[in-house]
Amino acid sequence: MTDGGFSGKAAIAGIGATEFSKNSGRSEWRLACESVLAALDDAQIGVEEVDGFALFTMETNPEIAVARALGIPELTFFSRIPHGGGGACAPVQQAALAVASGVADVVVVYRAFNERSGHRFGAGPPPFAYTANTDQEYRNWINPYGLLTPAQQEAFLARLYMERYGATSADFGQISVLSRKHAANNPKAWFHGRPITLEEHQNSRMIADPLRLLDCCQESDGGQALVIVSTERARDLPHPPAVISAAAQGVGPQQISMSSYYREDIDRMPEVELVARQMWRQAGIGPDQVDAAILYDAFTPMVLLQLEEYGFCGRGEAKDFIAEGNLELDGRLPVNTHGGQLGEGYIHGVNGIAEGVRLVRGTSVNQPAKAIDTVLVTGGSPVPHSALVLTADH
């Protein structure tokens, strides 16, 4: 491949998850262990072979707790990525770097939480927000005025985008309807069998104008794990490898968590554009070569903004690109085929990575009829960002 040294050298060989629910009835620690075992079983790799973990900083189950509970004797690599869902794809980059450089052979990524029955991100600042240090100092400039949740903090961008490009709440609603349509066909989805209409979206209550309830992702309990090994080894395992052709992180100018309000254009996300450039350079492709995409959908407006930052359509054109049917299963770029975090479940983006793997394997419940060789998977925004390109092994 063309750049980065690690492009193409590692692959996702196993995926595994618990059920996605609103009340798991089990500890987050147990959810982590269950999902790790499921992913290793999927890859047909022995538990004792795991020698690395790559996680988020918001993960409450430390790698040593999972290693202890599962009797994993030795770890040579363990890392954690900050910025929550923005970093969703970054642990996979860490894993790929570790595997490609020989630091570890079997690296597991997991995200497990009781985000619905336990602490809900949509309810207010998370527990660590009350720590007085520079990491949380940015809250001084938003929280005292009532911007307390991600939906509220994102609303300024959505409003300005609407003003600037003539987008409407119904344009955002298209994403909600699409996700719920895909989820309706996915037995694993919380909203299995429950599609919605645009009218239902428009009638859903306002949360933080212009964001309505149905613009917001779910809050879920559950765990999702991924197993990363060398592409060479993955070829000998049961499933076709989902080769990590690109994996990148990005921080843009004057970046602030959820509130980069002091840039010239607050409705642009330079950190996303920076990750996009790395995707295309590492994978040696452009947006036209991407067959399907899993775009992080904590809130619907971010899907439109990402379509533009990744270059699938021009600035301000996402609403038309969607209305033309491009994101449908038979469209130019099928998006969030599992139902997204709006429809399947909110596992902080990691369930979307698993869907990217299924698309490459050809096993999505909503597998498009066309060949899917290249899938883009993205992390959250507007925070420090990350993404992956997963490709079939040809």
Partner 1 sequence: MSDRSQDGPRTSVPRLIITQDNEFWFTAAREGRLEIQRCGECRTLRHPPAPSCPRCRSFVWDTVESSRRATLHSYTVIHHPPDPAFEYPLAVGLVDLEEGTRLVADIAGIPHEELTPGMELEVGFAEHAHGDVLPQLRRPSGGAA
Cβ neighbours for 204, distance < 8 A, ≥ 6 positions apart: 212, 213, 214, 215
* Closer by beta carbon to partner 1, 155 or else 217: 155
Residue 138 sits in the site that holds partner 1 (CB under 8 A): yes
Question: CA-CA distance, 336 to 356, in Å (whole number)?
Answer: 9
CA angle 159, 162, 167 (to 5 degrees): 145
Question: CA-CA distance, 191 to 138, in Å (whole number)?
Answer: 35
> Is 346 designated active site?
yes
* CB of residue 144 to partner 1, shortest distance in Å: 5
| Binding segment (CB under 8 A) for partner 1, from list 20-28, 48-56, 129-137, 375-383 | 129-137
Residue 187 sits in the site that holds partner 1 (CB under 8 A): no
Residue 377 sits in the site that holds partner 1 (CB under 8 A): no
Q: What are phi and psi of 87, to 5 degrees?
A: -90, 10
Binding to partner 1 (CB under 8 A) within 262-291 occurs at: 262, 266
Residue 49 sits in the site that holds partner 1 (CB under 8 A): no
Site string for partner 1, 158-177 (x = CB under 8 A): -xx--x--------------
* Closer by beta carbon to partner 1, 157 or else 247: 157
> Is 145 designated active site?
no
Binding to partner 1 (CB under 8 A) within 199-218 occurs at: 205-210, 213
CA angle 56, 298, 284 (to 5 degrees): 70
List the catalytic residue out of 110, 165, 296, 310.
Answer: 296
What is the Rg, in whole angstroms, of the alpha carbon atoms belonging to the chain? 19
User: For partner 1, which residue of 142, 243, 360, 387 counts as binding (CB under 8 A)?
Assistant: 142
* CB of residue 113 to partner 1, shortest distance in Å: 19
Residue 29 sits in the site that holds partner 1 (CB under 8 A): no
Count of residues engaged in binding partner 1, rule: CB under 8 A: 43
Question: CA-CA distance, 389 to 13, in Å (whole number)?
Answer: 15
* Closer by beta carbon to partner 1, 33 or else 155: 155
Question: CA-CA distance, 156 to 159, in Å (whole number)?
Answer: 5
Binding to partner 1 (CB under 8 A) within 309-338 occurs at: none
* CB of residue 208 to partner 1, shortest distance in Å: 5
* CB of residue 202 to partner 1, shortest distance in Å: 15
* CB of residue 264 to partner 1, shortest distance in Å: 10
Q: What's the gap between Cα 220 and its chain centre?
A: 14
| Binding segment (CB under 8 A) for partner 1, from list 20-28, 32-40, 148-156, 330-338 | 148-156
For residue 216, the cross-strand partners are 299
Helix (H) or strand (E) holding 79: strand 77-81
* Closer by beta carbon to partner 1, 139 or else 235: 139
Residue 149 sits in the site that holds partner 1 (CB under 8 A): yes
Of the candidates 156, 138, 92, which has an alpha carbon nearest to the alpha carbon of residue 386?
92
Residue 124 sits in the site that holds partner 1 (CB under 8 A): yes
List the catalytic residue out of 110, 165, 310, 346.
Answer: 346
* Closer by beta carbon to partner 1, 184 or else 213: 213
Residue 139 sits in the site that holds partner 1 (CB under 8 A): yes
User: For partner 1, which residue of 25, 71, 73, 145 counts as binding (CB under 8 A)?
Assistant: 145
Place of tokens 């038979």: 330
Long-range contacts of 253-258 (CB under 8 A, 24+ apart): 255/384, 256/138, 257/83, 257/138, 257/383, 257/384, 258/142, 258/150, 258/153, 258/154, 258/382, 258/383
Whole-Å CA distances, 199 to 89, 144, 203, 204: 34, 35, 6, 9
Pairing of strands 52-56, 107-114: parallel
Greatest alpha-carbon pair distance for the chain in Å reads 57
Q: What are phi and psi of 216, to 5 degrees?
A: -100, 140
User: For partner 1, which residue of 123, 203, 286, 325 counts as binding (CB under 8 A)?
Assistant: 123
221, 197 in Cβ contact below 8 A? no
Q: Which residues bind partner 1 (CB under 8 A)?
A: 122-125, 129-130, 132-134, 136-149, 152, 155-157, 159-160, 163, 205-210, 213, 254, 256, 259, 261-262, 266
- Provide the annotated active-site residues: 296, 346
